[in-house]
Structure 1
């Protein structure tokens, strides 16, 4: 991989490292591995349960998630049945376990109607060792799918965090994102969420939209702040292959695949810095390049979950599961045809097949170390030397000497206990993630044929 000093000469937005390795590094597992064997040697007393609902009212132009817009109603019903089959088979394979975090994502889970939402919560209660009322439990919504009855069902089930993608309060900017959204619908949805009494409201905004300026971005942030959300995420726009915006860009010879390269200079860094400063002035704490937390956000008195160390169990087509040595999921696609084919394959499976992992990636010792470093370093407080040493038996600076470049180039500070990115380092998080990606994973990502 290139030297960090050389990468810093490129524009800062190279790739978003929200998970490592990325799903484009996954491949078929032959022969399939029984889940009971995969989880047998893992700690199962502090797991994260994630359910994926891959349905939406419409597909936004920037979206590369595993999602299908306006599915046939019968397919939705069949999907919920399959989710229960998968959850039951997975819980049996886990044997003794405990979930301490829960999220219902997508897609748009609130695309489901009231009775379907009740069905989802009922299956979780039946098959998983989990108490949603006693742990952090979140759901993703979109403005047009929010109504009082759905929110009531979610709150009564134990959901305490609602995350809603606004992207922008400017109707011209959401049109540029190929997102049919009206501000009055957004305002009404926020009001309904507040009325329902959820302790945590998160709002997502995007910067880098065509026609957006610093002034218009700050106006959207100020509109969001008027609702005093407990959390705000600021996402840079990435135009990815096979998304609506990606198809437009591809006609003009745009970037494809995972490759570090110069991109046209844009205003995203200036927009990020302006947005960050506005939120810090408003009293928010920066947790990562993207996440900002309000001073009035509730303190979570809940069982500890550590994303670097504890496992995740994903249920549903498109959901990922993480053990220490193997990550697995269903296949990945973006184009509607590819998503529909993968979904049909999921719907045709028998329950016994859900007791095995047949698609994913095994992490050797080096990849396990890299994942731990990426997951720790790109959020605050940062990478603890003692925690790394306890897990891997050596110091992180010895295992990955390239980390010393962060200090030498003024992107991080190290007091002997904690290696932590400073403000400049956080601003370059989307360069640092790709920089820490191994050559082998980068090659697998480049070789992946996205459908």
Structure 2
């Protein structure tokens, strides 16, 4: 048997409401069987560790949805089940939980701390209240400050906020003001993502009716350049194309994904990747609960063939400033050499000055960072079509 993953992703699918841009597997909290869901995850964890006994756990990430909609008693129950089934934690474990400003009072935050959570990622998105309303967020900027203050009061230091750009009616000036407010907080980590208009969202329906006033492509590019310039000037390392951190505060869990390493996936709609096989869990809350009572609640499981895995390695690895490592590539793929496998693609990208060679791999150039999707697309089907 291959070594067990050292990382766990756990999905809490409940939200106070559905944001206009969100296509994640999430459901409005009201009327949901929350405790039944948590007990079903308990059963999935038990069956998972029976099938793949865990080793030392280095990172845990609880996402959603909004995990912090759980009541303090529910939170304590949930975190206890995690520790029960995955008891061997690295002393330096990174245990992250996503949170929505306004859903984190001190009692709940204390339950999180007592249960082992030591990193919080707040979904702030903007410091402009009009913009927050227009994208369907239920919090305002006062909630952000209150939530951060509460988190610090119970002992959280490792905190991150998510921001978004390319939003409807968002201007460079509005974004600049948000960056001012965000950087005043002096947090150790910021994630800043561009809006993607996804199917099955309100924004997609508005977009199809030509009723979504998005910034132009040129303005969006200038927004991204502004973000990079401002964060770098403030002393943050852009360790991934959308993520900025002070030294030592890079997300260890997300780095697991970007290095194409294995991880457990628990919960409705969760994805996992273990021993060259990916799985997707059943998405609906009640169908998931029913399935977890009978066995592993899988919607689909499929083996990732070696060519696809090598393509994936390049696409996610190049997202990082550390780049796609030749050494890690050889370790994951039985000694295969990156330069030989992707000679044509890497030569082309080097000639276009979209990537640059490192002593142990390749990373995006400054030009390549602005056109990352073009670079990643180079590897889609590169081996299966070759």
**TM-score over 0.5 for the alignment?**
yes
Aligned partner of 1:279 in structure 2 is 231
**Structure 1 residues 435, 158: CA separation in 2 closer, same or farther (over 3 Å shift)?**
same
**Structure 1 residues 228, 102: CA separation in 2 closer, same or farther (over 3 Å shift)?**
same
- Asked whether the 8 Å contact 2:172–2:223 carries over to 1, the reply is yes
The reply on whether 1:437 has 2:380 as its aligned counterpart is yes
Give the Cα–Cα distance (whole angstroms) in 2 for the partners of residues 109 and 306 of structure 1. 21
**Structure 1 residues 175, 51: CA separation in 2 closer, same or farther (over 3 Å shift)?**
same
- Asked whether the 8 Å contact 2:165–2:220 carries over to 1, the reply is yes
Give the Cα–Cα distance (whole angstroms) in 1 for the partners of residues 135 and 257 of structure 2. 34
Match of 1:93 among 51, 56, 61: 51
Give the Cα–Cα distance (whole angstroms) in 2 for the partners of residues 369 and 84 of structure 1. 34
Match of 1:292 among 244, 260, 280: 244
Aligned partner of 1:12 in structure 2 is none
Match of 1:244 among 183, 202, 206: 202
Gaps of 5+ in 2: none
Give the Cα–Cα distance (whole angstroms) in 2 for the partners of residues 153 and 133 of structure 1. 19
Aligned partner of 2:285 in structure 1 is 343
Give the Cα–Cα distance (whole angstroms) in 2 for the partners of residues 306 and 157 of structure 1. 24
Aligned partner of 2:108 in structure 1 is 150
CA deviation digits over 1:357-384, x for unaligned, max 9? Answer: 5513321110111111122111121012
- Asked whether the 8 Å contact 2:325–2:362 carries over to 1, the reply is yes
- Displacement of 1:322: 0.2
Gaps of 5+ in 1: 1-40, 255-262, 333-341, 443-451
The reply on whether 1:403 has 2:355 as its aligned counterpart is no
Aligned partner of 2:306 in structure 1 is 365
The reply on whether 1:265 has 2:217 as its aligned counterpart is yes
The reply on whether 1:186 has 2:144 as its aligned counterpart is yes
Give the Cα–Cα distance (whole angstroms) in 1 for the partners of residues 192 and 312 of structure 2. 23
- Displacement of 1:441: 9.8
- Asked whether the 8 Å contact 2:9–2:266 carries over to 1, the reply is yes
Report the number of matched residues.
Answer: 380
The higher relative CO (CA closer than 8 Å, separation ≥ 6) is in 1
Could you say what the CA RMSD is over the residues aligned between the two structures, in angstroms? 2.6
- Displacement of 1:350: 4.8
The reply on whether 1:201 has 2:159 as its aligned counterpart is yes
User: Which residues of 2 match residues 162-181 of structure 1 at below 5 A?
Assistant: 162-181=120-139
